[in-house]
Amino acid sequence: MVEDRSEYIKGVKKKWEEHANSYDEWYEKFEGAVENYVDWELLKGYLPKNRYAKILDAAGGTGRITLPLAKMGYSVTLCDISPGMLNVAKEKLLGAGILDKVEILECDVCKLQFADESFDFVICWDGMIEAAKELIRVLKREGKISIFLMNRFGAAINRFREDPESALDLLRREPSYISHDEEKHRAVSAEEARELFKAEGVRVIDIYAVCGWLDVLPIPEEIQESRNWDEKFFSQVTEIVLRLSKEPSVKGMSRHLVLYGEKI
């Protein structure tokens, strides 16, 4: 089993090494910019009031979240399995003159090298419910966690056109897993996520439906791919996406869920 895990990690690492230099380009396009805006609008309301608070950005990649957090004055630790992704983050932090403000570590989020209750806030935006126990272990009591999860119903909707049987399997099987490129993660509904975190001693504050709304709306592909856009349209799109992300009646439809909770 240990060997399996190390083979699996090798594959994941290889995949992200190949994506490292192009990963940020997606956020320069309309679709990525909308998602980044919505992610931040949701996160802002949960950040610690104390700007010296210790934040862990686990599986933080090229520092999309780390960089602005460090600029805000937080003490940030960025960890990721991919040295290539971390190198891009280092370059960006160096360019911003704040490399010395961030601790950077190469590690697997399922085997964190930190003592229990080391952080005031833990973020893991990579769809990994498998890492939940470990992320909660390193979080202080009354500290907050933000974690992206694979949305079971959203994944089934996405998959149905290409492969109805495997889409239905995602809903029939318990637990059900989504395999994508080299990665495989457990998919959950909002209610399942709520129960799983409650069992780990986390009070779930809210769960939002994020990513993939531009396919549901639907925004034409040429707009999604564009790097220049009309600001009024951008603000209309971000407003509807934010409203959808908070609306309980459509929570199943997005690609990811982002859970916010507090360790009790």
Ligand X SMILES: C[S@@+](CC[C@H](N)C(=O)[O-])C[C@H]1O[C@@H](n2cnc3c(N)ncnc32)[C@H](O)[C@@H]1O
- Select from 30, 74, 125, 208 the one that contacts ligand X (CB under 6 A): 125
Nearest distance from residue 148's CB to ligand X, in Å?
Answer: 7
Question: Does 82 interact with ligand X (rule: CB under 6 A)?
Answer: yes
| Interacting residues of 133 by C-beta distance below 8 A, sequence separation 6+ | 200
Nearest distance from residue 27's CB to ligand X, in Å?
Answer: 8
Instruction: Output the residue with the shortest Cβ distance to ligand X.
Output: 61
Please list every residue from 58 through 77 that binds ligand X, using CB under 6 A.
59-61, 64-65
- The amino acid occupying position 107 is C
Question: Does 108 interact with ligand X (rule: CB under 6 A)?
Answer: yes
Burial track 250-260 (b if 16+ CB lie within 10 A, e otherwise): ebbbbbbbbbb
92 vs 160, beta carbon nearer ligand X: 92
Judged by CB under 6 A, the stretch of 55-63, 138-146, 153-161, 200-208 that binds ligand X is 55-63
Nearest distance from residue 143's CB to ligand X, in Å?
Answer: 19
Nearest distance from residue 230's CB to ligand X, in Å?
Answer: 25
Judged by CB under 6 A, the stretch of 103-111, 163-171, 201-209, 222-230 that binds ligand X is 103-111
92 vs 169, beta carbon nearer ligand X: 92
How far is it, in rounded angstroms, from Cα 87 to Cα 10?
18
Nearest distance from residue 172's CB to ligand X, in Å?
Answer: 27
How far is it, in rounded angstroms, from Cα 31 to Cα 33?
5
Judged by CB under 6 A, the stretch of 106-114, 132-140, 186-194, 256-264 that binds ligand X is 106-114
Tell me, by CB under 6 A, how many residues bind ligand X.
16
Structure tokens belonging to residue 125: 């935006």
Under 8 Å between Cβ of 130 and 186: yes
5 vs 172, beta carbon nearer ligand X: 5
109 vs 190, beta carbon nearer ligand X: 109
Instruction: Spell out the SS3 assignment of 72-115.
Output: CCCEEEEEECCHHHHHHHHHHHHHCCCHHHEEEEECCCCCCCCC
Nearest distance from residue 24's CB to ligand X, in Å?
Answer: 9
